[in-house]
Amino acid sequence: MKRIQVAVSALALAAIMSGLAAAEQAQTLEELVRRYDASSCKECHQEIYSQWEQSLHAKPMLGPIGRTLATFQGYVNSRDTELNKSHEVAPGMKEFLKPCVECHLPQMMDASEAVAGEIAKAIVDGDEEVLNTLRITCIVCHNRNAILRKFRDGAPQPNTVYGPKYAGPHGDTKFTTAARSEMLRDTVFCAQCHQGPNVQHYDEPMWCTSTFDSHQHFYVPMGGTESCQDCHMRKDGGHRFPPNYQDPVQTGKRLKEWIDLNLSAIAYRMKPNAKELLPLVVINSEVVSRIGHRFPDGCPSPNRVTLDIKVSSKDGKELYSDTKTYMPQHKLGYDEHTMVYAANRKLTLLRDTSLHPFVSRKETIEVKLPEGVEEAVVEATLTFRQLPGVPEAEFPIHTVRREVSLKR
């Protein structure tokens, strides 16, 4: 009988706590924005705040050149078509948005169903004025999501900001205490969002970013020792968390630093048999990435690195061109083996030609020279195309030229 009473008491307490949690939910969009507003942080942390304002964390619902918004719109608009069973499985918009917002706007899980509906409407309407107020602010990383190992370290306290170094009084009217959390230094902290596919967690699985898995399974086994924070914060990134793809100079600089293109070419006359001479240009290319994870990666499938190889005569006439594509290629997850683009459809890999840490991607190409052509120019251009065909979303990495001649 005593055990039953304890169990009943525990259930009653759980019900009370659940009620309190529901009462603590933000009931309006304005309340949610106000609760996670970090503008007071810039009074003491001006440089950090300015860096954050330039980051994609400051525009997680829009993304670079509106790509994230377009992906969100595709997902929400599919609720009544491709994903129409979602009305049965997840009647509420909050649960429907969960696979996306747990990373793009984790604080939405602290809001009411009505707020989720407002956010969904802003997404469908493309209301950038509203969406620009929904940000992954200082409070998300330094309070709400600051503690990973809650069974060991407890839940984050509402009046406390967490950081990797300082503990003590904190000069803010709301967050009056600062506490040390070692996990903010660790790669796994970033993995809360930049992790593997969320296949096992949601009613509608989708393969999103897998940079953490790649870091653990490719970069570290190959001898890599740097963390996410080393490359994206400590060196020259700060709280911009580069690359953000809206600063072409910085993005290009980082890509040039971390991806190498080696190219060699030779022209010679091959004898396939005793009587013939076959004038050939033989091209050998090698692309090596030292980035700490697979590249490219992420939700929007068009992300790719391309190697464009062109052979021209000395007077500029094109003799040959080809493009090699480096990217993960996914399928829908059913029987049909067709590559899919949309983020909310991607599941298993069909093929992966992306650049993995320290793994050499080599190509050998033979080009037959036309009669009368004895000299040629080989040009190889390596480009990151975040959105192919959109100039502001394409970033040249390297261009290498080699001159070849049959006379040498």
Residue by residue, pLDDT tens for the chain (408 residues) are: 545 454 444 444 444 444 334 448 999 999 999 999 999 999 999 999 999 999 999 999 999 888 899 999 999 999 999 999 999 999 999 999 999 999 999 999 999 999 999 999 999 999 999 999 999 999 999 999 999 999 999 999 999 999 999 999 999 999 999 999 999 999 999 999 998 666 667 888 888 888 999 999 999 999 999 999 999 999 888 999 999 888 899 999 999 999 999 999 999 999 999 999 999 999 999 999 999 999 998 766 689 999 999 999 999 999 999 999 999 998 888 888 899 887 778 888 899 999 999 999 999 999 999 999 999 999 999 999 998 889 999 999 999 999 999 997
pLDDT of residue 67: 87
pLDDT of residue 197: 64
pLDDT of residue 246: 85
pLDDT of residue 256: 97
Taking a C-beta distance cutoff of 8 angstroms, is the pair 304, 388 a contact? yes
pLDDT of residue 280: 97
CATH topology of domain 243-405: Immunoglobulin-like (2.60.40)
The three-class DSSP label of residue 211 is: helix
Calpha distance 399→382 (Å, rounded): 6
For CATH 2.60.40.10, the residue range(s) in the chain are 243-405
One-letter amino acid of 28: T
- Cβ count within 10 A of residue 14: 10
Query: Per the confidence metrics, is the pTM higher than 0.85?
Result: yes
Angle of the 93-104 helix axis to the 113-125 helix axis, nearest 10 = 70
pLDDT of residue 209: 84
pLDDT of residue 343: 77
Taking a C-beta distance cutoff of 8 angstroms, is the pair 136, 106 a contact? yes
Q: What is the DSSP string of 330-379?
A: EE-SSS---EE--TTT--SEEEE-SB-BT--EEEEEEEEPPTT--EEEEE
